[in-house]
Amino acid sequence: MIQIELNNISETFTSESVQVKALLNINLNINKGDFIAIIGSSGSGKSTLMNIIGALVRPTSGVYKLDGQKVSGMNDKKLANLRKNRIGFVFQNFNLIPRISILSNVELPMVYKRVSKVERRERTLTLLKKVGLEGRSSFRPNQISGGEIQRAAIARALANNPDIILADEPTGNLDSKRGEEIMKIFQDLNKEGITVILVTHDIEKARYANRIIKMKDGSIVGDENVSR
């Protein structure tokens, strides 16, 4: 079943008064429950594509539909609701808020969803257990290791039961052992039915996916299904 539908998507932005064409007429369909790896060198447009799918940016032109609903053209408020309810982000540099505890970081999406405090607390502890961070809830991000921070970030991404997880170089700042552990978590989440879209330049990590999309200079240059 097609979940994500991109038709003729282009993205242009101006950087230091130079027009940069980040994406050129991208056409891509992604099925629900897929594990996609988008690979390409830096500047190939893979992160931009992920940001469009994640409703962080509106495409300059083209139509993006999520479950048949048109996302391109939504206002800020609707995009925020979409990110809150359907999508979980995992970043290369973790992006946890440093001043607050792991617990507060993980429950952040639930705060914006107006989930009650008791329910929030309960779900956060369950999620932390799921990613192997029991007993770390009161720590601040700078008091735990990089691998642990990224697990906390995954727990945060899962807070509101999203059906899509977007991970941008999630293992880029981790050693290979921690990286493998993180990839296993994504694999487990995908088995639970969550669509996982992984952006990476590491072909080893791309092997966890069932479909690999290769990008270059803002265009898709390869698209293959792989057997795991």
Partner 1 sequence: MFLDNFKIAFNSIFSNKARSFLTVLGVIIGVGSVVLMLAIGEGAKNSVSKMIESFGTNVIFVVPGKIEKGKSFNPVATVGENTLTNKDVEDIQKKADKIKDVAPISLLGGSLVYNKQIASSAIMVSSTPALADAMNGELGGGRYINDDDINNKSKVVVIGSAVKDELFSDQDPVGKKVTFRDTTLEIIGYTKKKEQNFQFGGFSFAGFSTMPRTTAIDITKSDQIFRIICKADSNQNVDAAVSQIKSTILDNHKGTEDFSVLTQDDILGIAKDILDLLTILVASIAAISLIVGGIGIMNMMLVTVTERTREIGIRKAVGAKNSDILIQFMIEAIVVSFMGGLLGVLLAFAASFAVDRFTPLSPVIDLNFILIAFSISFIVGVIFGLAPAIRASRKDPIESLRYE
In b/e form, how buried is each residue of 51-86, taking b as 16+ CB within 10 angstroms? bbbbbebbbeebebbbeeeebbebeeeebeebbbeb
Q: Which stretch binds partner 1 (CB under 8 A): 24-32, 91-99, 179-187, 189-197?
A: 91-99
Query: What does the block give as tokens for 162?
Result: 């999203």
Question: Is-contact 106 159, C-beta < 8 A?
Answer: yes
Q: Output the CA torsion 37→41→43→45 (10° steps).
A: -20
Instruction: Report how far residue 27's alpha carbon sits from residue 151's, in angstroms, rounded to the nearest whole number.
Output: 32
Question: Is-contact 8 181, C-beta < 8 A?
Answer: no
| Of the residues 8, 61, 70, 111, which one makes contact with partner 1 according to CB under 8 A | 111
Question: Is-contact 189 165, C-beta < 8 A?
Answer: yes
Query: Which of the residues 189 through 218 are near partner 1 (CB under 8 A)?
Result: none
Nearer to partner 1 among residue 5 and residue 107 (C-beta): 107
Give the shortest CB-208-to-partner 1 separation in angstroms.
23
123 binds partner 1 (CB under 8 A): no
Give the shortest CB-57-to-partner 1 separation in angstroms.
6
Give the shortest CB-51-to-partner 1 separation in angstroms.
6
Give the shortest CB-25-to-partner 1 separation in angstroms.
21
Give the shortest CB-80-to-partner 1 separation in angstroms.
4
Residues near partner 1, by CB under 8 A: 51, 54, 56-57, 76-77, 80-81, 83-85, 89, 91, 95-97, 99-100, 108-109, 111-114, 156, 159-160
